[in-house]
């Protein structure tokens, strides 16, 4: 049996081997890839440090309640969200992916209302005075609706 297996293996073609030139080319490609990965890691580390400083300055500034960043790629936004979370801030992204998506931060004591978030999601600027006016209108509409509903119920009872 061993002779049969040995003769079969001996008759098979050997797998192709990599020549010296191909090996050197593969090593060069690997080295280039490692160099690119290291450069990318360094770039992201530098960005993280820049964001940590920027967010630290924002926290220390007693006049600022919120901070808006310029549009950036997903990886960079993730870093901003991470740094903000560690710093105890509220953060949200707004805008369209691959177009104009950006991050906004709020100090916890000035966290945005649902109406404010909705305005930013619609691409609008937040105007607190306009929001107060809209809230008053909503209350009036609800009051009017309740009044009409009660009048309707009274009419039905008589």
Tens-digit pLDDT profile for residues 51-96: 999 999 999 999 999 999 999 999 999 999 999 999 999 999 999 9
Whether 141 shows a pLDDT value over 70: the answer reads yes
CB 109 within 8 A of CB 93: no
CB 69 within 8 A of CB 106: no
pTM: 0.67
- Residue 107's contacts (CB-CB under 8 Å, 6 or more residues apart) are 59, 64, 65, 66, 89, 90
């Amino acid at each position: 049996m061993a002779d049969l297996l040995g003769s079969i293996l001996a008759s098979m073609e050997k797998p192709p081997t990599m020549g010296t030139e191909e090996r050197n080319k593969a090593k060069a490609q690997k080295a280039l890839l490692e160099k690119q990965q290291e450069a990318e890691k360094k770039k992201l580390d530098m960005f993280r440090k820049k964001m940590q400083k920027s967010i630290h300055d924002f926290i220390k500034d007693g006049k600022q309640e919120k901070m808006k960043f310029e549009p950036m790629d997903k990886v960079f936004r993730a870093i901003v969200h991470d740094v903000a979370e560690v710093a105890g801030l509220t953060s949200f992204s707004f805008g369209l992916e691959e177009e104009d998506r950006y991050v906004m931060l709020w100090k916890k004591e000035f966290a945005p209302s649902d109406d404010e978030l909705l305005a930013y999601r619609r691409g609008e600027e937040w105007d607190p005075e306009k929001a107060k006016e809209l809230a008053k209108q909503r209350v009036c509409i609800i009051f009017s609706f309740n009044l009409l509903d009660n009048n309707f119920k009274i009419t039905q009872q008589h």
